[in-house]
Amino acid sequence: MLDKIKQLEKKIKEEIFSVQQSIDLLAIEKKYLARQKGELAQLIKRIGKLSNEEKPIAGQAFNQLKQKINQWLKQRQQELECQSTKDNSTAIDITLPGKKYLLGYLHPLTRVRQQVSDIFTSMGWQVLEGKEVETDYYNFTALNIPFDHPARDMWDTFYLKKDNLQFDPQLIKETTKNEKLLLRTHTSPMQIRVMKSQTPPLKTVVIGKCFRHEATDAGHEHTFYQIEGLVVDQQISLSNLIHTLQDFLKDFFQQEIKFRLRPEYFPFVEPGLEMDISCFNCHGKGCSVCEQTGWIEALGCGMIHPRVFQEVGYPANKYTGFAFGIGLDRLAMIKYKINDIRWFHRGDLRFNQQF
């Protein structure tokens, strides 16, 4: 029986590959595979009569044959389709390259920024940028980080000289002159500016350039970008915060993100949390990207501190809200697998033109 199947196989293969027109393939298909009268249908009847020992072996061979026939039919069909164009001698070579149109490229941080901005816009958030030069008050004091507080160690800061500034005549010089100017170390001063100028409900995201006075290496830059989220209303809860972040990350990375939350101290939120996401590279097993921890620090967040509400003049106990800060650079690095943060500002077009 097995020999018989083998012979049949050889015969059918020859037949299929000698066909020159698609329509003939249909005929072959009908001849062998038709349900009732096809040759294979006949064959299976005979297999049914075999002994119990032979039956399974022959059955298996039969099934394989059937699969092969289908495969060959498909293969030949494709070959014939290709040939039909080849044969047309007047046709152009459609595989030649098209006319070259030169392209420009957007910076990866712009692409990510745009994506982030689109996600939040779609959720009905206001998108802002803010100024990069800030005052000490907005960058620190108003955010519950008084001048002599040890928490200031968390932000190494670029300060500005004020000696050649031209002051608007409307300003009371003495108070403004004493105010220190600096390059914002985070986008959080915009929390204060937004809350001082608007009343809740607020759903705002600020995306912009920030600066830290620190040496650069593969993981650190003195110039970087932050995404600041701010939501204020009556009865905003920590679980809202987590939902928002989860939603955002899922949308951004286009997949369900495994994360963990752990306590972290930021003076302008309470509770303060850090969100780690499961390492993309090793999926939590531990690798060099995540320093063997399985987790990547993704963002800091928390519930807005009552002292911050007090500072912006909101009535006590009326509102609750949350805030978060995400490194835009970090998101871009994860998304595009960029191994060194310094690429972003190098201006090496071999980098920029990959995006």
212 tagged catalytic = yes
226 tagged catalytic = yes
Q: Which of 3, 168, 174, 256 binds another protein (CB under 8 A)?
A: 168
Q: Which of 112, 303, 334, 338 binds another protein (CB under 8 A)?
A: 303
151 tagged catalytic = no
Active-site option among 72, 125, 155, 295: 155
Q: What is the DSSP letter of 217?
A: B
Q: Which of 209, 258, 335, 342 binds another protein (CB under 8 A)?
A: 209
Q: What angle do CA 312, 314, 319 make, to 5 degrees?
A: 120
Q: Look-up: residue for tokens 């049914």?
A: 48
Cα 298 to its chain centre, rounded Å, is 12
As beta bridge partners, residue 323 has 230, 302
Which H/E stretch holds residue 54? helix 54-86
**Residues with Cβ < 8 Å from 173, sequence gap 6 or more?**
167
Residue closer to another protein (CB basis): 75 or 255: 255
323 tagged catalytic = yes
Q: Please state at what angle helix 54-86 crosses helix 39-48, rounded to 10 degrees.
A: 170
343 tagged catalytic = no
Residue closer to another protein (CB basis): 29 or 132: 132
What is the rounded distance in angstroms from the CA atom of residue 185 to the CA atom of residue 140? 9
Q: Which of 29, 233, 251, 340 binds another protein (CB under 8 A)?
A: 233
Residue closer to another protein (CB basis): 265 or 336: 265
Q: Of 158, 151, 119, 181, give the one whose Cα is nearest residue 305.
A: 151
184 binds another protein per the rule CB under 8 A: no
H runs (alpha helix) in 254-353: 306-312, 328-336, 349-352
213 binds another protein per the rule CB under 8 A: yes
State which of positions 80-119 bind another protein (CB under 8 A): 102-107, 109-110, 114, 117
State which of positions 271-300 bind another protein (CB under 8 A): 271-274
Distance in Å, CB of 282 to another protein, minimum: 17
Q: Which of 164, 178, 199, 254 binds another protein (CB under 8 A)?
A: 164
Count of Cβ atoms closer than 10 Å to residue 221 Cβ: 22
345 tagged catalytic = no
What residues act catalytically? 155, 186, 212, 226, 269, 323
